[in-house]
Amino acid sequence: MGMTALQLTDETAFSALVERHRRELQVHCYRMLGSFEESEDLTQETFLRAWRSRTTYAGRASLRAWLYRIATNACLDALARRPRVPTESGEVLWLQPFPDELLASIPADDDEEPDAVIVARETIELAFIVAIQHLAPRPRAVLILRDVLGWRASETAELLDTTVASVNSALQRARASLKEHLPERRSEWAAADPSDADRALVRRYMEASDEGDAQALVAMMAEDMRFSMPPEPGVYVGRDTVVGFWVENGFGDPERFGLVRCVLTSANLQPAVAYYVQRPGEHRYRSLAVDVLTVVGGEIAEITAFDGSLFGALGLPDAL
């Protein structure tokens, strides 16, 4: 269906038409870029490009497909301007979490694409986002369109202005690379919502963090658990190593580090814990970090920590 004369000439009417696709386009940009802040910028860039090129929309494809074409090309242009590659150890230092409340705001009544496909847990979790950042931009786009969103090869080829044969070849290479960069234990991860036992584990994790109980935290972690803090480089492996690093930096020592309070949140459809700290001599708990947790088999298998600058995006206050 084409645009009405009003939507072609009135920016407010045009914005109302395309706005319902904002969140799913932002998720698409987030998968392409791995950065929440950049996904916001590129979504806005998509709408600006759409407005400027609105007269070229002929209605042959759906409005949604037209917007995805613009968004994908905007992301490819951004990646061409600022090429980034993971570190030698595979870290994605520009990685940021995606707030769950924004995922929940994607409309569920779109007959063209069920929202369950757009935000399937296995394609929004941090491990998947990290893995696809190892793909070159165009194969990354092909894999997202074909395997995540379920587009046909012909639709993907049209969007990327290439051939079906090229799309199929790129998809084969992207799948092979993706398999190499996903965690070995990922097949054990549950695709369903967290169980009662998992939620209880997260509560115990918060309580132990509040109390500064390092040994209690060690007991909840997998022996080979991993901890990282993008954009800071470095991955700590092993529960004793991880908690030992925290203790070395003052965790559990109120006089040196301060008092900790935790708030439960979620990101990338994973449990997350927001840390606030009241430093010695201060009277408020201020934002410190957000830990996004991966729970496997009743243990914490991985923690990815992000600094306090992202509290606002996650709907969290800067201080308690």
pLDDT per position as a tens digit, 249-267:
999 999 999 999 999 999 9
Instruction: Give me the CATH code for the 196-310 domain, please.
Output: 3.10.450.50
The answer to whether 265 and 273 have CB atoms below 8 angstroms apart is: yes
CATH topology identical between 5-188 and 196-310: no
CB 16 within 8 A of CB 63: no
> Global pTM?
0.92
Looking at residue 114, its pLDDT comes to 47
In this prediction, residue 13 has a pLDDT band, given cuts at 50, 70 and 90, of: confident
Query: What SS3 class is residue 250?
Result: coil
Structure tokens at 202: 């997260």
Rg (CA), the chain: 21
% of the chain surpassing 90 pLDDT: 76
Report the pLDDT value the prediction gives residue 54, as an integer from 0 to 100: 86
Residues sharing a CB contact under 8 Å with residue 110, sequence separation 6 or more, in sequence order = 20, 64
Question: Of the CATH numbers 1.10.3720.10, 1.20.140.160, 1.10.10.10, 3.60.20.10, which one belongs to the domain with range 5-188?
Answer: 1.20.140.160
Task: Enumerate the domain spans of the chain.
Answer: 5-188, 196-310
Judged by average pLDDT, the poorest of 56-60, 107-111, 149-153, 158-162 is 107-111
pLDDT confidence of 120, banded at 50, 70, 90?
confident
Kindly give the interhelix angle for 63-81 and 153-160, rounded to the nearest 10 degrees.
50
The confidence score (pLDDT) of residue 184 equals 73
Q: Which residues touch 3 (CB under 8 Å, ≥6 apart)?
A: 14, 17, 54, 57, 59, 63
